[in-house]
Structure 1
Amino acid sequence: MRISEGDEKAFEALYRHYYGRLKPIVGKYMGDQVDADDILQQAFLKVWLNRETLPEIENIHAWIYKVAYREYLMGLRKKLSYEARLNRYSDTLHADHSQELPTDAAHLEDIRKHIGAVVSNLSPQRRMIYELSRNEGLKIAEIAEKLSLSTQTVKNVLFLVMKMIREHLVAAGYGPLTVIVLLKII
């Protein structure tokens, strides 16, 4: 098999053949096409990294599906773990009455002003990425495509901006747990 010898064109053909078949399946179960893309990227990365074992595999079709399935399970575990942590933070927040969410309009407006102050000081590209994500609701892959950037660059920028906003809100007197929950709903 040419892939096991490092033939990138052969790998690309294999990738194109299976990616189109796997994406709808993984996307259906993950519920998010961006998550499905990430899972499939990881799966095909494992295929490439283990390419020297391909000649030993009797049923390549079944093996690729198994690699994708294992990546799906790992992705699902990560997602469930994240949701469980978020629920624990929320439970802690509700148990600690000193950390009550500011739900009235004045508090929310104050928070929006703090966020606006951080966003207004961003570079134009970072501001654009943040606004496309938060204001227009675009997903990371859509932003990357629209701005001709890699998805990793968009992820890094969003992570950095959210960190700056969190730090600014904590410095303004909002508790860390409050900030975590608020940034999910604002």
Structure 2
Amino acid sequence: MDVNVSDLKNGDKDAFNAVFYSFYSPVYDYLMSKTDNSYFAEEVTQLTFIKVWEKRNQLAVDIDIGAQVFRIAKTVFIDQLRTRYRKKNRPDLVTEEELSEYTDNQLVHNISYKDSYKRLNRILDMLPPARKQVFELSRLSGFSHKEIAEMLQISTKTVENHITKALKQIKPLWNATILIVAIFLQR
């Protein structure tokens, strides 16, 4: 699929239509594999392309458009799951004491998560750009090796090599970070 991302960023509807018709079915199929709910998959797929159009100015010209569409799809999917979860678990039925305890626990969890995420990002920034992109698509976005190969138009063997090399580079740094945190927490 050869779409000029610059044209899409400039509001070219033909470029958007090309992206839409090229990726609608793959995005829908991906979401169906995650939810097994055709209505929800259809809803999230449509929201994905609305978001692609709304956020077209933020698209990167140097990153494959397919990878960007799937990243947006995953973000929209997670947002919709969160929305459904909030609606399902009505906070108006929770006591203030439970809410306070939950909020305190969530705050500690969020701080720990954000700190870990920042450390991971610093480590990932040390990887070569292509290796970092493949690793993030695999480990952070949950795409299969085959999906990544198709998105980036590389072989699955190249994807596997990038991930293997990334893990060899990341593990020692991550383990050292965990050890330092453990020592610090023991004080």
**TM-score normalised by length of structure 1:** 0.42
For the pair shown, which has the larger CA radius of gyration, 1 or 2? 1
**TM-score normalised by length of structure 2:** 0.41
